Amino acid sequence: MTRVVVDPLTRIEGHLRVSTEVNANGEITDAQSSGMLFRGMERILVNRDPRDASRFTQRVCGICPTAQGMASVNALDDLYEVADQIPKDALVTRNIIQSINTMASHATHIYVLWGPDLVNPAYRDLLATVEGTGSVVWKELLSRFAPISYKLNGESITPGTAYINAIKEKKNLEEAMAVIGGKMPHQMATVTGGVTYRPNLADIGTLTGHYYKLMDFVNSSTLGVNAQTWLDNTYRASSPQKAVNFLLEHLQNLVDKSLSSNDFSFSAGWGDLELLSAFGSELIGEKTLGLPASLKIDKTGGYAEDANIGFLTYGAFYDVENGDGYDPVGFGQSAFQQAAFINSSFEKKAFDHKYVTEETSHGFYSSDDALHPYDGVTEPLTTASEITYEGGSDSRYSWIKAPRYNGTPCEVGPISRLIAMEEPLTMGMMQVFADNGYSAVNSFTRMVAKAQELLILAEQFLKWVTVDLDPNGKYFVNPDLDNAKDSKGIGLWEAPRGALGHWVKAGSDLKITNYQMVVPTTWNCSPRDANGVAGPLEQALIGTKISAAENALGVDNTNPTGILHTARSFDPCIACAVHTIDLTDKARTSRTFN
């Protein structure tokens, strides 16, 4: 048994430590996910004017500030009892703001944070074992996903086109955010009661222009199928099987064409689904690139068959067809992306926030009861000797609390949302894996759901901007601030990375007495709970091979691609730092990964 620790795990937001036990076959048999920083934002808010929350909470994070601000204004709309009056045009504007943030976050994650995993030296070595196409595919991967210019065997490789294009695309989307929100991060338009900026006709034109720029990014890369056709045949397919068939036929054509011309230089973007396919699954890989079995790469990040796991979404984007107002507690049921709890057999149940709890029996906090967020407590341990990450799964080992839904750890994010929507391509791809004896949810299907969601949201964004937005509409109602007296409010929303809830309570002086945020990465990177049940990332790691290329190259504990791919497929947000790995858990041996 070898202990393999990646700390900090890079190309994510924040400081995450993953500690694993690996057996002689290279299989991960135990895992702990540790959040390494305490921010104390919840405590900072106590005794402040509740309206400060929607400004302060945007400072939680640089990539999902918009979502924090949105969850917060939802909680404040409830606290000040104005949720049922928020004008439709304000709801449309909030939807537009959030969709921009989610699309930018997804493009960044796919190509800048996750994509470079595909140029790990393990894949070069693996591809070198493939005659013919191997070296062509490796060069193609480099030209798309390499984050920097560097020399390879004396040859200069320029930075990846997909990587660079995604950074440019993020700029495009952040400029779109500035049209309404003034700036990014920390857009300034959303307040309780509505929004403070009334978009004008010129803004609608400008936002439409940003949409077409986004479509250039997408369409330049769909290899002959534009986004509309893609969605017609997948998102709007009459069955999951039809969606998968479309994908596979499309990919096969491309591959045949590429193999016959020995030219793999598809432009970057959606065509990369094809490469993701080849690297995500032997099933899809054989069917598409026609690569030999030696190139099989283990799927990473799936769940055990009897896993104690659920999939959760609070629902996102107000239903603007309903006119003014929304129901803060049940709004997810009428949202564009619906609220749901999905169990491990993929049965969909109605979501009820009363089942949400957090506990800290394995976290560095002094209150261990499982508490509903209205009653949540954030009391950090302050004695240095109590804060150690090396005690194993029975100890306290993380700053992340353990959220549970009716006692069940839940994965949140694009895949949970798309399962709740019964999105055909996602459901179809999951079925392909399940039919072949694999976990339906895994690193690959997580990425497919994310890419698909970006396109779905782009289409929705255009509708909100060009059909729903009314420059002559109403954008704000004045909240009665006295309504906060001894009151409480709930803000349910979906951040790019998944279900995001804010809960606020105020006292007789109209000041905050408790503010609790349960964020997506709290769910996904949760430590164990009092029953010893591991969090989603921990469960996804256990059973995954430490080196994804293990089939062809053997076990390599010094390049734990299995840990990296799995963790990054969850898109964790905990600020990026140096890449280090500790193989002994005692002497910290530093190694650099891309």
Nearer to ligand NFE, 108 or 514 (CB): 108
Omega cis (within 30) before 8 = yes
Instruction: Name the minimum Å distance from CB 135 to ligand NFE.
Output: 37
Q: Which member of 68, 172, 234, 361 binds ligand NFE (CB under 6 A)?
A: 68
Question: Least distance in Å: CB of 520 to Mg ion?
Answer: 11
- Shortest approach of Mg ion to residue 590 CB, angstroms? 32
Q: What is the largest CA-CA distance in the chain?
A: 74
Pairing of strands 581-582, 356-359: unpaired
17 sits in which H/E element = strand 16-22
Report the half-sphere exposure of 30 (CA within 13 A, side-chain side): 10
How many other CB atoms sit within 10 Å of the CB of residue 151?
8
Q: Tally the residues of the chain.
A: 594
Cβ contact 474:217 at 8 Å: no
If contact means CB under 5 to 8 A according to the sort of partner, which of Mg ion, ligand NFE, none does residue 13 touch?
Answer: ligand NFE
Structure tokens at 188: 């300034």
Q: Which residue is nearest to Mg ion (CB)?
A: 517
Q: Binders of Mg ion: how many residues, by CB under 5 A?
A: 1
The reply to whether 316 sits near ligand NFE by the rule CB under 6 A is no
Q: Which is nearer to Mg ion, 517 or 552 (CB)?
A: 517
**How many residues contact ligand NFE, by CB under 6 A?**
14
Take residue 71 and report the two structure tokens written for it.
């969850």
Pick from 6, 28, 53, 67: which binds ligand NFE (CB under 6 A)? 67
First to last CA, the chain: 26
Tell me the closest approach of the beta carbon of residue 380 to Mg ion, in angstroms.
11
C-beta of 136: minimal distance to ligand NFE in Å? 36
* Interface with ligand NFE in residues 509-548 (CB under 6 A): 519-521
* Identified binder of ligand NFE from the candidate list 7, 13, 42, 282, rule CB under 6 A: 13
Q: Which residue number, 68 or 442, has a Cβ lying nearer to ligand NFE?
A: 68
Non-local CB neighbours of 95 within 8 Å, separated by 6+ positions: 317, 318, 320, 336, 460, 464
Please give the angle made by the CA atoms of 277, 279 and 283, to the nearest 5 degrees.
Answer: 60
User: Toward ligand NFE, which CB reaches closer, 165 or 521?
Assistant: 521
Instruction: Give the binding range for ligand NFE (CB under 6 A) out of 60-68, 287-295, 317-325, 533-541.
Output: 60-68
* Closest CB to ligand NFE among residues 12, 231: 12
From the CA atom positions of the chain, what is the Rg in Å?
A: 23
Cβ atoms 62, 13 nearer than 8 A: yes
Which helix (H) or strand (E) segment holds residue 357: the answer is strand 356-359
- 205-194-172 Cα angle (round to 5): 35
> Which position among 11, 299, 497, 568 is part of the footprint of ligand NFE (CB under 6 A)?
497
180, 500, 549, 581: which one binds ligand NFE (CB under 6 A): 500
CB of 71 to ligand NFE, least distance (A): 7
The answer to whether 549 and 557 are in contact (CB under 8 A) is: no
Q: Which stretch binds ligand NFE (CB under 6 A): 64-72, 115-123, 178-186, 219-227?
A: 64-72
- Between 237 and 500, name the residue whose CB sits nearer to Mg ion: 500
109 lies in the binding site for ligand NFE (CB under 6 A): no
With a CB cutoff of 8 Å and minimum separation 6, the contacts of 137 are: 127, 130, 264, 275, 278, 289, 291
Gap between the Cα atoms of 153 and 124, Å rounded: 12
Whole-angstrom CA distances from 197 to 97, 123, 476, 575 are: 11, 49, 9, 31
Near ligand NFE by CB under 6 A: residue from 63, 100, 275, 490: 63
Q: What residues between 167 and 186 interact with Mg ion by CB under 5 A? A: none
Q: Which stretch binds Mg ion (CB under 5 A): 149-157, 199-207, 223-231, 512-520?
A: 512-520
64 contacts which partner out of ligand NFE, Mg ion, none, CB within 5 to 8 A by kind? Answer: ligand NFE
Binding residues among 523-562 for Mg ion as defined by CB under 5 A: none
Asked whether position 495 contacts Mg ion by CB under 5 A, the answer is no
Encoded tokens for 130? 């493939």
Rank residues 194 and 413 by Cβ distance to Mg ion and give the closer one.
413
Residues 6+ apart with CB under 8 A from 182: 188, 189, 197
517 near Mg ion (CB under 5 A): yes
Given the complex with ligand NFE, which of 140 and 571 has the nearer CB atom? 571
| Contact call for residue 184 and ligand NFE (CB under 6 A) | no
Binding to ligand NFE in span 572-591, by CB under 6 A? 573
The structure tokens 């006119």 sit at 323
| Backbone phi and psi for residue 478, each to the nearest 5 degrees, phi listed first | -80, 115
450 backbone dihedrals φ, ψ, rounded to 5°: -65, -45
Residue number, 42 or 468, with CB nearest to Mg ion: 42
- Residue 211 exposure: Cα atoms within 13 Å on the Cβ side: 21
Q: How far apart are CA 31 and CA 3, in angstroms?
A: 10
Segment interacting with ligand NFE, rule: CB under 6 A, options 87-95, 294-302, 383-391, 491-499: 491-499
* Range in contact with ligand NFE (rule: CB under 6 A) among 59-67, 480-488, 508-516, 542-550: 59-67
70 is an interface residue for ligand NFE by CB under 6 A:
no
Stretch that binds Mg ion, among 114-122, 189-197, 516-524, 532-540 (CB under 5 A): 516-524
Query: Would you count residue 64 as binding ligand NFE (CB under 6 A)?
Result: yes
Which CB sits closer to ligand NFE, 177 or 484? Answer: 177
Phi, psi for 147 (deg, rounded to 5):
-75, -15
Instruction: Please list the residues that pair with 151 across neighbouring strands.
Output: 156
Crossing angle of helices 201-219 and 443-463, in 10° steps, is: 150
Toward Mg ion, which CB reaches closer, 325 or 376? Answer: 376
At which residue do the structure tokens 């803060």 appear? 328
From the list 142-150, 340-348, 489-497, 513-521, the region that binds Mg ion by CB under 5 A is 513-521
67 is an interface residue for Mg ion by CB under 5 A: no
> Binding residue for ligand NFE (CB under 6 A) from 491, 496, 543, 560?
496
- Residue-by-residue DSSP string for 490-526: EEEEEETTEEEEEEEEE-TTSSEEEEEEE-HHHHHT-
Q: Which residues bind ligand NFE (CB under 6 A)?
A: 13, 61, 63-64, 67-68, 495-497, 500, 519-521, 573
Q: Which residues bind Mg ion (CB under 5 A)?
A: 517
